[in-house]
Structure formats: C-alpha cells, structure tokens
Structure 1
Amino acid sequence: MAVSGAGACKLTVEAEVEIKANADKLYKVISNQHHDVPKAASDKIHDVAVHEGDWETSGSVKLWKYTLDGNVETFKEKVEIDEVNKWVSLTALEGSHVLDNYKSYKIIFQVTPKSEGGFVKITLEYEKLNENDPPPQKYLSFMVNVIKDIDAHLLKE
C-alpha cells in the first residue's frame, strides 16, 4: 500500500490534566481497571470488555463502546503498560469512526504524581489517511473529559 503526503508521517496532539485524586489510584484505573471507567464516566463510556488476555496484562485486547458527539462508536485496542514510569498506551486495532480518518491511532497516558494529586499527560499519536483529514482534537477533548470524570469519581470514594 502506497502512502503519500501527510498520511506518511506520525503526528501528535497533547493535553495535560491536573488531577486532585491520588495519582496511583487513577493510574490503576487507566492501566488495569478499565472495567471501572464506565462507572466513572457513564455518560461517555458505556462498556469495556476483554477481547483477548485479561484486565491487567500488557498485550491484552479490549473493546470499548462509547458515545462521542451523539454517535455510538467502538474502539478495539491493544494495551501496553509501563508500571515503573506510570505510562499506558492503547493502540487502535479496529474501531468505528476513529479509523475512518486515521491509518494509525494510539492514545498514551502518562501519570505524574505530586504530593497531592498530580498530572495526566494525554498524547494521541496518529497518521492521517488523507492530507485534509482533521487532527483528532475531538478525541483528545473526549479523553481529557474522561480523565476528569475518573478524577471526580475517585474523590467521591
């Protein structure tokens, strides 16, 4: 398959979210407790199911169902977890909508604890299918809001 123009290069968009909850607890949710995300962000994330592997192991595959801009979408991803650096990546394998515009798509979360709370850096790495496809800004905003929902949920516990 030939690739040309902007579609040939990896691009990124990033955001950083300040969190008030315990950073280690939030990291656990986004690394190996994905089943808790629909409880925290039920208006956005409807279901997460293990497709291959389990909840806790790098290389496991999960299928997410969520609503973005009024559309129900799916996202099948392969997770990689780096416990030492508090880093998690979700690489798109299949998905309705997100892979309509992107040849490749990966979400990377990096949690940085502070004495109270911390930060979550969200990076979306992607390759456009077509030069005029927009950057995945709506997906980045969606992920920022999911992290905020998880943070608020953890503060209530």
Structure 2
Amino acid sequence: MALYGKLETDVEIKASAQKFHEINHKKPHHISKASSDKVQGCELHEGEWGKVGSILYWHNVYDGKDHVTKSVTEDVDEENNSFTWTMLEGDLEKSYKSFKMKIQCIPKDKGSVIRYTLEYEKLHEGIPDPHTFLQLCVDVAKDIDAYLMGDNNEGSFIAKA
C-alpha cells in the first residue's frame, strides 16, 4: 500500500462551469446555503476571497462527524475555471501528512463537468484512501447544482454578491 495517493472523479451538472466556479472559488462562504447539511460554513481567515494565498477555515460534516480544515488557495486558473486548495491544518492532519484538492469546471454544450482531484500523503499505511471525502465533494457538487438551477435568484445573487 502506497503512502502517496491520488483520487479523481467527474460530476456532471446542469449549471454552467462559470457559475459553479464562481460560487466555489470566489464565494465559498455561500456553499452552506446550497448544502447546509454538509458544509456548515467557510470563513476567510486571511487574504481576499478567490485570491492565491488566501486562507480559508472550513466546517464540514462527513463520516457522521464534524470536521474543520484550514486551507490555502494555492493556484487559480480563471481561463480553465480551476483552482487548488492545500490543507494547512485541521482534522485531515490526523490521517494525512499533506492533502490537496483541485476543482476544475469544464464547460459542455449543456451544463458542465466538475472534476475533483485529491492528492495526499497518508501518515502510515493503515490510513484508508479519502473516498468518503471525495464522496462529500460529489454530494456538495450536486447540492450546489440544484441550488444554482433552482428558483432562488442565484443568477442575480452571483452577480451582486
């Protein structure tokens, strides 16, 4: 069993890649409106929303437990609707020496595909791969899609907020 690992999955959604990228990258503090049972909040600890070097503090629920993670926005590629967060500290540290998540929003003729890539280094071989965290990402993506496509004025919300 390797200590270094990489998991990747694609999620097809109806919302545009631009709208999905916007809420995840520049307004992650609004994700809890779309997926309140999984994301209790995201706070800006340092920097500016959506900027490289910004530090975010996440409150999530998965595996039936509350989790917190402090992450830094490591990379942003506006042209390809992608960005990368790297864990600085939090509950993931109990299992992983390093943990990085990349989200890329790929436009399609109708809707888009959201590609999640997790790269990590486990503390020891007894640690499982983070499949439950990846499932959290998939579930949150579906919630965000439903929110963006629903009757909630999200189109105007994104433009104003």
TM-score (ref. length: structure 2): 0.89
Which residue of structure 2 aligns with residue 143 of structure 1?
Answer: 137
Kindly provide the CA deviation profile for residues 48-72 of structure 1, in whole angstroms up to 9, marking residues without a partner as x: 1000101121110000011112211
One-letter code of the match for 2:2?
A
Separation in 2, partners of 1:31, 1:56:
5
Q: Deviations over 1:95-137 (max 9, x none)?
A: 12x2211110011111100121010010100011101211000
CA distance in 1, matches of 2:96, 2:63: 18
Listed as ranges, the gaps of 5+ residues in structure 2 are: 153-161
Match of 2:77 in 1: 82
Give runs of ≥4 in structure 1 deviating > 6 Å: none
The aligned residue for residue 39 of structure 1 is: 33
Counterpart in 1 of 2:157?
none
Does residue 91 of structure 1 match 2:86? yes
Distance in 2 of aligned mates of 1:129 and 1:70: 22
Aligned amino acid, residue 17 of structure 2: A
Q: Displacement of 1:24 after TM fit?
A: 0.7
CA distance in 1, matches of 2:80, 2:6: 20
Mapped to 2, the partners of 1:87 and 1:24 lie a distance apart of 10
Any stretches of 5+ residues in structure 1 without a counterpart? none
Task: Return the match for 1:116 from 106, 110, 115.
Answer: 110
Superposed CA RMSD = 1.2
CA contact (8 A) 1:50 1:60 kept: yes
What is the TM-score with the length of structure 1 in the denominator? 0.91
Number of corresponding residues: 150
Q: Deviations over 1:38-94 (max 9, x none)?
A: 001001000110001011211100000111122111010001221011111110001
Aligned identity (percent) is: 39
User: 1: CA distance between counterparts of 2:149 and 2:93?
Assistant: 34
Find the aligned partners of 1:36 and 1:114 in 2 and give their Cα distance: 24
- Deviations 1:1-22 (Å, cap 9, x if unpaired)? xxxx833xx3101110001012
